Structure 1
Amino acid sequence: MTTHTGVRTALSDSTTMIGRSIRLSRRNTEMLIISVALPLLMMLLFVYVFGGAIDTGTAYINYVVPGIVLLCTGYGAASTAMAVADDMTTGMIDRLRTLPIRGSAVLTGHVTASVARNTVSTTIVVGVAIAMGFRPTATLADWLLAAGLLLLYVLALSWLAAGLGVVAKNVEAASALSFAMLFLPYLSSAFVPTHTMPSFLRAISDHQPITPVIETVRALLTDTPVGDNGWIALTWCLGLLAASFTLATTLFRRRTRG
């Protein structure tokens, strides 16, 4: 009975914080616009300005869309880090201590809101890409597999962002700490095939988590063989999720102890 009560309390606390985080996201229209507008601008730039000069063996827009989608999740995660940092430094956590609510539910709320934001922004990006000429040949099963992998990646990235927000001294520091999440897609196969890169850069691009995720999503959406990228991407995402969740919750407990 005690266990059931504890579970119900945890769910209730998390639901309350999820609702709060989603309301904050709706009010922060500037961040919502940026998290969607910047990936769209990048897609327009690469497709219409650089796309004609880049040979990928297929229509460039079909090649670049999966990379833009992951770039989009990076912007969404960066806003999560800043939102968590704001709560940690403006007294929000201290106020929660006076209420019958679990403080750690704050992180759950921010992560869930991040997933919701990324779902909306990804849908918009894919919709605009289709209007621009993106023609995926995926089956329903392929779409579901791609969506599942992207969801896992977004969860992992959002928990990592939450951890960065916990350790940041202020919102500006959280923005700086999350810069790697915005920059890493450029050192992947998001925009050009890795074999066109210098050998030292290719070694980085081929052995970082974003490249196999992009290659897997790209293969699923274009109905081409996934190969080893599928299990490599899944391993990266699960490992990053486990490590990020553990790191964020541990750091949160340490910082709010006392």
Structure 2
Amino acid sequence: MFRLSAITLLFLATGITATQAQFKINAKTVSAASKGATAATFSDADAAKLAKEAVDWMDAHNPVAADDDPYTVRLNKLVAKHQEEDGLKLNFKVYKVIDINAFACADGSVRVFSSLMDMMTDEELLSVIGHEIGHVKNHDTRDAIRQAYLRSAAKDAAGSQSGAAAALTESQLGALANSLLESKYSRKQESAADDYGYEMLKKHGYNVMSMASAFQKLADLSGGEKQSKMEKMKSSHPDSGARAKEVEEKAKKDGLYKATAAK
């Protein structure tokens, strides 16, 4: 599904809100997930269909980096061997916007924002991408979009005996997007996604400490001199500094620890 702002570790870390963001969200009719999308039957396929329509709209209404753009060239080189990960077929694009963010969707779409690329090294970006893929593989994205869908657009359909939810109108989809923006993962879900990202780095022979340095950069953004511009993360979201230390502990146990510092 489309993982916007509050659902991603990056938006939570920076405290960017929907009204402050340059990034545009979907506001059109979506019917792809209209069949069999009740609370009891909402599946990975339903989430993927709804996500694809949303991502298609976002791609059309946001500045996507061209194929020969340096951002696209860099990302494509970075993910060349990650077109499929753990059975999930992926597709990648860069949004040239000021927001510091990235998200992965149930349909395999991964969108990385240029401002995030500006502050992260290649392997740090991979750790972020791995974390977001973890949310998809752990069904967090499916469950979040299902709950947002039912809250914002399908209350009546959820109680229907017919087993079919109505198509989303423009206003309902706007409410869905807002609901998603307000969604947040539990500490357990975030930790599990961190574990997935760490194991992905480890599996492919990358420096696992890049995840620790990525978290440290997020910690730096959420405090200190930049406190006036960046909100501290919400109480339900694990502290980035603490997450960096958890990665360090895992790396030490695995014999992969290397001293590192955010750049």
**What is the TM-score with the length of structure 2 in the denominator?**
0.28
Question: For the pair shown, which has the larger CA radius of gyration, 1 or 2?
Answer: 1
Give the structure with the larger strand fraction: 2
Give the structure with the larger helix fraction: 1
